[in-house]
Amino acid sequence: MKSYQAISIKDCGEALVAIPQDTFILETPHPYKKLGAPYEGISPYVLRESVLKGLQQAQNELQKWQPGWQIKVFDAYRPIAVQQFMVDYTFKSLCQQYPNQSESAIAQQVSQFWAQPSNDPNTPPPHSTGAAIDITLVNEKGETLNLGGAIDEISPRSYPDFYQDATGKSEQIYHQRRELLRHIMFSADFRQHPKEWWHFSLGDQLWAWLKSQETSNSNIVAYYGRV
Q: pLDDT, tens digit, for every residue of 196-215?
A: 999 999 999 999 999 999 98
Stretch 15-38: mean pLDDT, rounded? 97
Within-domain flag for 152: yes
Does residue 108 lie within any of the structural domains? yes
Q: Is a pLDDT exceeding 80 seen at residue 170?
A: yes
Can you give the residue range of the structural domain that contains 40? 2-215
- Per-residue pLDDT band for 216 (boundaries 50, 70, 90) equals confident
pLDDT score, position 220: 93
Q: How far apart are CA 10 and CA 146, in angstroms?
A: 38
134 assigned ligand-binding residue: yes
Asked if residue 29 is part of any domain, the answer here is yes
Query: pTM, whole model, 2 decimals?
Result: 0.96
Residue 199 annotated as lining a ligand binding site: yes
CA distances from 223 to 8, 116, 204 (A): 9, 20, 6
204 lies in some domain:
yes
* Residue 193, annotated as binding a ligand: no
Residue 197 lies in a domain: yes
Bond prior to 29 in cis (omega within 30° of 0): yes
| Res 2: pLDDT | 55
Q: For 54-95, what is each residue's pLDDT tens digit?
A: 999 999 999 999 999 999 999 999 999 999 999 999 999 999
Q: Which of 40, 140, 179, 196 is catalytic?
A: 196
Residue 77: the pLDDT is 98
Residue 170 half-sphere exposure toward CB, CA atoms < 13 A: 5
Q: Does 220 fall in a domain?
A: no
> Is residue 61 annotated as part of the catalytic site, yes or no?
no
Any domain includes 211:
yes
Output the domain CATH number for residue 113.
3.30.1380.10
Residue 138 lies in a domain: yes
Q: DSSP string of the chain?
A: -GGGGGS-B----PPEEEPPTTTSEE-SS-HHHHHT---TT--SSEEEHHHHHHHHHHHHHHHHHSTT-EEEEEE----HHHHHHHHHHHHHHHHHH-TTS-HHHHHHHHHHHS------TTS--GGGGT-EEEEEEE-TTSPBPP-SS-TT--SGGGSTTTTTT--SHHHHHHHHHHHHHHHHHHTTT-EE-TT-TTEEESSSHHHHHHHHHHHT-TT--BS----
Q: Are residues 154 and 109 in contact, defined by beta-carbon separation less than 8 angstroms?
A: yes
- Give the number of domains in the chain: 1
Give dist(CA 185, CA 178) in Å, integer: 11
Query: Residue 198: its pLDDT value, please?
Result: 98
* pLDDT at 40 > cutoff 70: yes
- To the nearest whole number, what is the mean pLDDT of the chain? 96
Does residue 3 surpass a pLDDT of 90?
Answer: no
pLDDT in tens, 106-155: 999 999 999 999 999 999 999 999 999 999 999 999 999 999 999 999 99
| Mean pLDDT confidence for 13-41 | 97
